[in-house]
């Protein structure tokens, strides 16, 4: 019996010819990742274990992105702990404020995560890197501590699901809409501890940044990982960025899936996830009477250059509605610079947006965009749980960057076509 791409990657990293769902394995790691919230716990456990050094200083990434630039003394202390650890162990991939970005946008951009890799991160959205054809998954901080010491992690090989998308996407519809649609169909636990294999002609035509957005939210369906088989689009993205060797894996035609879905998405509208779950999904046309107080364009889901270009194409020549705040946060320093050079930042400023340095801040209710009681926000991020961005009586609506920008102009959730010129 054949294997899927995930099973092949895990088999190679545990030194076996094949692996099967349910099997417990120890796998060799290509990267351990942690941020300013999760790394301090991992560092504490690393030191409690009496470890003298990390397994490989070039296979650890520390990215202080959640509460940075530091919002208070506690967050400053956490970031300082990362800094001291990185200096002591000469961690190659430590990114300070001014060079860092939102981790799941930064690491693919920098060529640190690559096809065929086995990656763990103390952040649930580590599943993003499956867009490159890697096995990547979120784990606890103690697992990262063990990984930094041993260079290995244990896994139960996940069951495999297949999602096949056919047809042709409409204008204003992309990877974010595909994953919201999918979560809406199967629920927030529909892929619990399973691999979500994204396939089909629609996926094959998706640009890399849309693929990253798609795989980023696999965890919102409970997935252990999301993954897309690498192809020419993958090669074009990684070959000039790669910092180490990489390998393309493909699923066998006789690989086994516990569930398969086939959807024709030709007439799909932009999707909006209503409060308070990513699965509470509706087409944007069903949300046009919902007024808003804030728009957030950014995060590890939709803060990349293509997202900013999309938002700017809507906002150009328009203004943010009175009494609405529109916060734009480029996901990395490079994205910020490119957006500036292309004139996108000027478009945002002319429209009345606030443009901020790279940070996860608003997404997790950390800083730079907290909601008050009763306020509503359209966000391009990945979660809309109760209290996620501030007060427990606030509301978050998840959407793509075009819907977010259009909504900022009208002050209510709006289809981009309504304001596009």
User: Residue 419 has what pLDDT?
Assistant: 86
Distance CA 213, CA 398 (A): 13
Report the chain's mean pLDDT, rounded to a whole number.
Answer: 96
One domain for residues 187 and 282? no
Distance CA 350, CA 25 (A): 54
One domain for residues 252 and 287? no
One domain for residues 31 and 159? yes
One domain for residues 247 and 305? no
**Among 230, 196, 221, 240, which Cα is nearest to 278's?**
221
Distance CA 339, CA 355 (A): 11
- Residue range(s) defining the domain that contains residue 343: 271-418
One domain for residues 72 and 149? yes
Distance CA 211, CA 130 (A): 9
Q: What is the CATH number of the domain that holds 138?
A: 3.30.499.10
One domain for residues 25 and 90? yes
One domain for residues 311 and 185? no
* Whole-number percent of the chain with pLDDT over 90: 97
User: Residue 420 has what pLDDT?
Assistant: 77
Distance CA 259, CA 127 (A): 20
User: Which pLDDT tens digit goes with each residue over 63-103?
Assistant: 999 999 999 999 999 999 999 999 999 999 999 999 999 99
One domain for residues 286 and 208? no
CA–CA distances in Å: residue 112 to residues 88, 126, 127, 399: 21, 13, 15, 28
H-assigned helices in 153-229: 175-186, 201-205, 208-216
Q: What domain count does the chain have?
A: 2
DSSP E strand boundaries for 229-341? 259-264, 271-273, 281-283, 294-297, 325-328
One domain for residues 250 and 314? no
Sheet with 281-283, strands from edge to edge, namely 281-283, 271-273, 395-398, 376-379, 294-297, 325-328, 354-355
One domain for residues 179 and 255? yes
- Model pTM greater than 0.85? yes
Residue 347 has pLDDT above 80, yes or no: yes
User: Which pLDDT tens digit goes with each residue over 401-419?
Assistant: 999 999 999 999 999 999 8
User: Which pLDDT tens digit goes with each residue over 187-242?
Assistant: 999 999 999 999 999 999 999 999 999 999 999 999 999 999 999 999 999 999 99
Last residue of a domain, one of 262, 296, 320: 262
Confidence of residue 1 (pLDDT cuts 50, 70, 90): confident
Last residue of a domain, one of 244, 262, 280: 262
One domain for residues 69 and 121? yes
User: Using an 8 Å Cβ cutoff, are 348 and 317 in contact?
Assistant: no
User: Residue 421 has what pLDDT?
Assistant: 65
Q: What is the DSSP pairing of strand 354-355 with strand 325-328?
A: parallel
* Burial tier of 421 (Cβ tally within 10 Å: 0-12, 13-18, 19+): exposed
Residue 389 has pLDDT above 90, yes or no: yes
125-137 average pLDDT score: 98
Q: How many Å is the Cα radius of gyration of the chain?
A: 20
| CA atoms within 13 A of residue 37's CA, in its CB half-sphere | 17
One domain for residues 18 and 84? yes
Last residue of a domain, one of 262, 282, 317: 262
């Amino acid at each position: 019996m054949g294997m899927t791409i995930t099973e092949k990657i895990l088999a190679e990293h545990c030194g076996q010819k094949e692996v099967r769902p349910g099997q417990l394995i120890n796998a060799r790691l290509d990267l351990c990742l942690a941020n300013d919230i999760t790394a301090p716990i991992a560092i504490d456990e690393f030191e409690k274990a009496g470890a003298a050094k990390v397994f490989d200083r070039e296979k650890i990434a520390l990215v202080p992105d959640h509460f940075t630039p530091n919002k208070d003394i506690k967050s400053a202390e956490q970031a300082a702990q990362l800094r001291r650890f990185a200096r002591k162990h000469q961690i190659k991939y430590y990114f300070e404020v001014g060079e860092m970005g939102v981790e799941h946008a930064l690491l693919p951009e920098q060529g640190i995560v690559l096809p065929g890799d086995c990656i763990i991160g103390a952040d649930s959205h580590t599943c993003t890197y499956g867009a490159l054809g890697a096995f990547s998954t979120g784990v606890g901080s103690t697992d990262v501590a063990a990984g930094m010491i041993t260079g290995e992690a244990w896994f139960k090989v996940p069951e495999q699901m297949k999602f096949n998308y056919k047809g042709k996407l409409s204008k204003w519809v992309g990877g974010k809409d595909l994953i919201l649609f999918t979560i809406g169909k199967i629920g927030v636990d529909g892929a619990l501890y399973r691999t979500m294999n994204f396939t089909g002609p629609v996926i094959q035509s998706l640009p890399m940044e849309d693929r990253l957005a798609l795989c980023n939210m696999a965890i919102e369906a409970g997935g252990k990982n999301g993954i897309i088989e690498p192809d020419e689009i993958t090669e074009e993205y990684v070959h000039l960025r790669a910092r180490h060797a990489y390998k393309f894996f493909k699923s066998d035609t006789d690989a086994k899936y516990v569930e398969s879905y086939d959807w024709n998405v030709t007439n799909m509208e932009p999707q909006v996830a209503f409060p308070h779950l990513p699965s509470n999904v509706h087409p944007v046309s069903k949300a046009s009477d919902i007024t808003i107080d804030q728009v957030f364009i950014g995060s590890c889901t939709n803060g990349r250059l293509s997202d900013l270009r999309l938002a700017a194409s809507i906002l150009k020549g328009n203004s943010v509605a009175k009494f609405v705040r529109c916060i734009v946060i480029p996901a990395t320093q490079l994205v910020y610079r490119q957006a500036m050079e292309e004139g996108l930042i000027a478009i945002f400023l002319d429209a009345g947006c606030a443009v901020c340095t790279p940070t996860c801040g608003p997404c997790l209710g950390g800083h730079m965009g907290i909601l008050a009681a009763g306020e509503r926000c359209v966000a391009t991020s990945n979660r809309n749980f109760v209290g996620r961005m501030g007060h427990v009586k606030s509301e978050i609506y998840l959407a793509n960057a075009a819907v977010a920008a259009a909504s900022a102009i009208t002050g209510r959730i709006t289809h981009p076509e309504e304001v596009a010129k």
